[in-house]
Amino acid sequence: MNDDARTNIGTPRPTPADLGSAELRDQVERTRDELGRTVEALAAKADIKAQAKEKTAALKGQAAEKAAQVSEQIRETAGHVAQAVKDKTPDSLQQKTAQAAAHARESAAKAGQYATDKMPDPLLEQAGHAATAARANRAPLLAAVAAVAVFLLVRRNRGRRR
């Protein structure tokens, strides 16, 4: 219903005898138009599926915003914690840690070079393909490793309970 129909509720409408055929047609057309708008409004209110989709989209957007905010807060907190740990760690320990990391990288590079030198070419090629596949599918590979680790921990704990 439009505002005109609401305000004219108590007002008597002219009877068809009082109206000419052109006026009668205009009144019928206005009534059809008003009825059409009313039906459309009721159909929109009754379309629960569309309303649910709109609500879902709105909630999804809100959740994404909240997740971004929480993620940013976690990054900031982690940065502050890392800085606090670094500030409280003695310089001598930081230097020793840096030296140990450099030594570990150097040893790993030497071991990798030694393995590459001693490995037959076909096996080296297969290892290269496997490494490329592992880099391309890092997430599933990490999930599989985590699943195996959980399985082994559960199995070990069950063995201890017996």
pLDDT tens for 5-42 read 555 555 556 565 556 788 889 999 999 999 999 998 88
The answer to whether the CB of 116 falls within 8 A of the CB of 124 is: yes
Q: Tell me which DSSP letter residue 12 carries.
A: P
| Torsion sign, CA atoms 104, 106, 112, 114 | negative
Kindly report the average pLDDT of the chain as a whole number. 83
> Mean pLDDT lowest for which of 65-69, 83-87, 105-109, 112-116?
112-116
Percentage of the residues of the chain whose pLDDT score is greater than 90: 17
Sorting pLDDT into bands at 50, 70 and 90, what band is 123? confident
**For residue 46, what pLDDT is reported?**
81
Distances (CA, A) of 53 to 45, 126, 154: 13, 49, 42
**For residue 98, what pLDDT is reported?**
87
**For residue 37, what pLDDT is reported?**
93
**For residue 28, what pLDDT is reported?**
92
Average pLDDT of the residues in 99-103: 91
For the entire predicted model, the pTM comes to 0.35
44 has a pLDDT exceeding 90: no
